[in-house]
Amino acid sequence: MRVTSSLAVLAAVVLAAASSEAAPRGAAERLATGERVFVGEVIGVSTRWGDGRKMIWTDYLFAVEETWTGTDAPRQVVSVAGGTVDGESILVTHGARFEVGETYLVSAWGNEHLYSSAVVEGDRGYYRRVVDEATSSEVFLDPEDRRIEARTDGMLVSGRLSAPAGKRGFVRFPTDEELAYVRAQTEEKTPALVPVYLDPSGRRIAPLPVAAEAAAPEPCSASRSDLRSGMERVRKAVSSSRSVK
């Protein structure tokens, strides 16, 4: 088994994911909720006081690559509560945080709503676009750096963990063996319980052999078209249910 030099980084990724709760909704549902859905690169960030100096806002400026929902504009600003102005800081948990130079698929409300985060579900309605080091293909990651995958039932869900690769914007996907090794090193060692099988007279007997299960196929990464068609499918379903009512 190959253990790479990025073991410490991988361990941090595993621990962070283990401490987070499962997302209640899939990517398609979050994208369908947004009033503005677009793919864009963060090209600027600024902070400001809101009205009455009660809240600091961080404004992220995006150069839009593709618009899926809302006004098709070359620039979009996404405002999130929290930040630092002139040495004064306000920290707001569960808010989206973007990095300049990175590209994201964003599902957002209009800033005029003055929600604490314009991003749908605060810290979950956005996906970072990266490149799979092994295949050179486009991949979208959730805020916990899990790959968005297309299941056979059509659901778009967070799946395999990623780890940083050697080049910015590229990631690698650790094997099951690597993840198991890291978990074994980071989790508390507890002895495994071994069942004992007895016959009616109390004599110990060997357990029956268990048939090996067929390995499940590796889920595939959700492509940009998968995400967009999933969003449109959910929107259509919601619209149909409303018309029936």
The pLDDT of residue 217:
65
- Three-class secondary structure assignment of 213-225: CCCCCCCEECCHH
DSSP 239: H
Residue 106: which residues within 8 A CB-CB, separation 6 or more? 34, 36, 37, 38, 39, 40, 62, 76, 78, 119, 125, 126
How confident is the model at residue 187, as a pLDDT? Answer: 67
Residue 34 has a pLDDT of 94
Rounded to an integer, what distance in angstroms lies between the CA atom of residue 189 and that of residue 170? 34
In single-letter form, the type of residue at position 13 comes to V
> In this predicted model, what pLDDT tens digit does every residue of 26-72 receive, in sequence order?
899 999 999 999 999 999 999 999 988 899 999 999 999 999 999 99
Domain boundaries, the chain: 1-29+126-189+215-236, 35-119
Taking residue 55's Cβ as centre, other Cβ atoms within 10 Å add up to 16
User: Which residue in 86, 85, 81 sits closest to 58, CA to CA?
Assistant: 81
Per-residue model confidence (pLDDT) at position 154: 83
In angstroms, the CA 177 to CA 18 distance is: 17
Q: What's the one-letter identity of residue 167?
A: K
Residues of the chain short of pLDDT 50, as ranges, are 1-24
Give the pLDDT confidence score for residue 9 in this predicted structure.
44
Q: Where are the beta strands (DSSP E) in 3-125?
A: 36-49, 56-69, 75-81, 83-85, 88-90, 103-108
Tell me, what amino acid is at 11? A
Alpha-helix residue ranges (DSSP H) falling in the chain: 7-19, 27-33, 176-186, 224-244
Query: Per the structure block, which two tokens stand in for 199?
Result: 């016959």
Distance CA 107, CA 124 (A): 9
- Look at phi and psi of residue 56 and say left if phi exceeds 0, alpha if psi is from -120 to 50, else beta: beta
Question: Which stretches of 50-198 are DSSP H helices?
Answer: 176-186
109 - beta bridge partners?
Answer: none
